Structure 1
Amino acid sequence: MILSDSLDSPMYQANRTLKQKLERLIYLSEARVESLKLILHNNSSISRVINNQDIEPSLHHQYNHNLFLIQVGIGTFAHSPSYKTYYLVLDTAGGPIWTQCEGCNPCFHQRDPVFPKMQSNSYHEFTCDYCPPGTTCEYNHCAFDLTYGDGTYVHGIAATETFTFRPRNGGSPIPIWSLGYGCATHTQNFIPGMDKNNIVSGIFGMSPHPSSFMGQVGSHFGGRFSYCLAPIHHQRQLPPMFLRFGDDIPPLSSRHRHQTPFIRGRNPFYYLDLQSITVGSEKLNIKSSVFQLRQDGSGGCIIDSGSGASLLITTAYIEFEKVLTRNIVAQNPRIRIDSRSPMLCYKESDVKVKFPKVTFHFANNADFVVEPELYMADYMKENSRVNCLMIRPSDKFTILGAYQQVNHRIVYDTVNSELHFASANCFSDN
């Protein structure tokens, strides 16, 4: 997996300040709330074959937008290699897989040419004789439409294609044939496409929805996948990161291992039963019902790799900020609030500021501990060091975002409907 802010990423912009990056992360996370509502209903029944090897796609960090990208090969061509390489956003709250294809008009900017579907020997479109659920017949093709809350719009053709993954330790590429996906022919307002060095060409959905990668082939891996995200604000170059499946997932530390059940909801997300939050040693004085998933599909708590920062339902956030502020001021009498910042920020004095740990208490006594450096980000402003809160309010639902998942081994078990996690040093994922 390559993070967009990694020095290895072609989208890395050295002239963008840390403050600008953090503010952008917050903006994208808030826009993300609306984007989780609409999922394309596409469930392919086409058979597929997976080699009896472990696929282990590399993950990358797209720095400018704090996205995690998966590197995949798409298509079958006469030349070598027999596929074309693309980078798709790893989205655990997204259903369909899609990428831009030739003929796209209008389409967002991407550095590499869009996918040449007509040149691929393994590209097959659904015809109107059988259109997957959620698609409609349009000029003898099965068309799909996706609308995201941040303004992104995607229109295209439902098809199947060969996706190829390389194992980390070499060996032959591993193809997955007849994978259902969307070939986008019309895209608008896709935020990563606004960068001149953008390498992102689409979305790699990993949600519980039948149209996602896990929905289509997850049974071949025992319904399990995992990642371990390295700190994206760390000054060192990011290490290799991988999306792991099945038996390739490392065992979790028995000392720090937790598991908590997923909650079934109307929307195909990975909902968790969040019961309370503790700041330092003080538990928030709010009812657990604040975090509950409601019958109309609103509320609840989602774990989401596609959201950079975490969001708390507004009622909980107000209490959280109050308790956090009281705790910080008690430990740091000389601290000052930066009133000019749109986020909750503190200016450091000549003494380094002390911040408490934050613990998310999930069902089954599963405590997810977030270290201070993973919810407070610091940067230089006018010759002073400023610390800003990377958790924001939301009037929709609560999200445990990627920024706060750092340095945890996260394991999704879709067969047993459980999330497993443990604290880990994600700089040694290899």
Structure 2
Amino acid sequence: MGQETFTFASTSGSTEAANGVTFGCGNDQKDFDVMGRTRMVGVMGASWGANSLISQLRARGLSGNFSYCMPQFGEAGQAHPSTFLRFGDDIPRKPGTFTTSLVRYPGEDVFTHRAAGTSGIIIDSGDDISLLNNAAFNALKTALTNYFLQKGYDYHVITSQHNLELCYSRPASVGYLQLPTLTFVFSDGSGLQVPARNVFILDGDARTKYFCLAMHRSPDQSCLIGAFQQRNQRIIYDSTNGKLHFGTELCHISK
């Protein structure tokens, strides 16, 4: 652990400095591959905990709000398009934004799959793709099977690809337009709408074309919305009031 002055660009045209911010250093990172494309060296803490960056900034009189908007891979001709982490008044607010409540972690029971099909869920930009507990994953798998049967699509389950469990063969003519969207519906009725290109990964070679559900089974009972499913969404955390705001946005343009 160490302490340092963190300096941020400001909408005032100058910079804002936060002195004595505590942070940690990693020197032996493992399992930080993101879809096989990049390797991170650490994760910024943004929880309600006293040592998270957001809590430390709020204790220094800065806003407890922060936001990001993660672009699609390859948008705007970039292999890894850039984006910004925004704070306070620098966060853009646009029409069409939805709001749900954030809940402080109350224990493992929040992830229990209930008879109504509901469960608690984490939203996390540090995990590449979403994790669903067994009950939720199986329910989604069944829903996809029924959807493809109803549509009359001749898709067949194939062996795991890219370490993704649920994969289907597809005709070469099938793309994202022929695949369904998905919505994470929250208890207040708001929903995070995920387009097909953020639900599935299309791949293949000259002989075989396929697509895979870009989600994993959780190793425990938790559920989590990962970064892949958050692409082209403006995500705004209001940690002071315990609210999450979200809405569709072209992140490679607005950042």
Q: TM-score, normalised by structure 1?
A: 0.51
Deviates more, 1:198-207 or 1:212-221: 198-207
Counterpart among 308, 328, 351 of residue 173 in structure 2: 351
Give the direction of change, closer, same or farther, for the CA distance of 1:324–1:206 in structure 2 (3 Å limit): same
Q: CA deviation at 1:177?
A: 1.0
Task: Write the letter of the residue equivalent to 1:159.
Answer: G
- Report the count of equivalent residues: 243
Q: CA deviation at 1:163?
A: 2.0
Structure 1 CA distance, aligned partners of 2:17 and 2:206?
A: 52
Q: Which structure: larger Rg?
A: 1
Alignment match, 2:102: 262
Query: 1:242 touches 1:429 (CA, 8 Å); kept in 2?
Result: no
**Larger relative contact order, structure 1 or 2 (CA cutoff 8 Å, min sep 6):** 2
Alignment match, 1:216: 56
Structure 2 CA distance, aligned partners of 1:189 and 1:164?
A: 26
Give the direction of change, closer, same or farther, for the CA distance of 1:233–1:301 in structure 2 (3 Å limit): farther
1:178 aligns with 2:20: yes
Query: How many percent of aligned residue pairs carry the same amino acid?
Result: 29
1:13-52 CA deviation, whole Å, 9 max, x = no partner?
xxxxxxxxxxxxxxxxxxxxxxxxxxxxxxxxxxxxxxxx
Query: Runs of 5+ in structure 1 lacking a partner?
Result: 1-157, 268-272, 277-285, 292-299
Query: 1:314 touches 1:393 (CA, 8 Å); kept in 2?
Result: yes
Q: CA deviation at 1:230?
A: 0.6
Q: TM-score, normalised by structure 2?
A: 0.82
Alignment match, 1:287: 115
Q: CA deviation at 1:266?
A: 4.1
Query: 1:239 touches 1:428 (CA, 8 Å); kept in 2?
Result: no
Query: Runs of 5+ in structure 2 lacking a partner?
Result: none
Structure 2 CA distance, aligned partners of 1:189 and 1:240?
A: 23
Give the direction of change, closer, same or farther, for the CA distance of 1:174–1:235 in structure 2 (3 Å limit): closer
Give the direction of change, closer, same or farther, for the CA distance of 1:355–1:289 in structure 2 (3 Å limit): closer
Give the direction of change, closer, same or farther, for the CA distance of 1:200–1:391 in structure 2 (3 Å limit): closer
Counterpart among 413, 417, 421 of residue 238 in structure 2: 413
Alignment match, 1:312: 132
1:242 aligns with 2:84: yes
Alignment match, 2:190: 366
SS in 2 for 1:230: coil
SS in 2 for 1:203: coil
1:256-300 CA deviation, whole Å, 9 max, x = no partner?
221111112247xxxxx9999xxxxxxxxx734751xxxxxxxx3
Q: CA RMSD in A?
A: 3.0
Spell out the pairing of 1:185-200 with structure 2 (5 A cutoff): 187-192=27-32, 200=40
Task: Write the letter of the residue equivalent to 2:245.
Answer: H
Query: 1:257 touches 1:422 (CA, 8 Å); kept in 2?
Result: yes
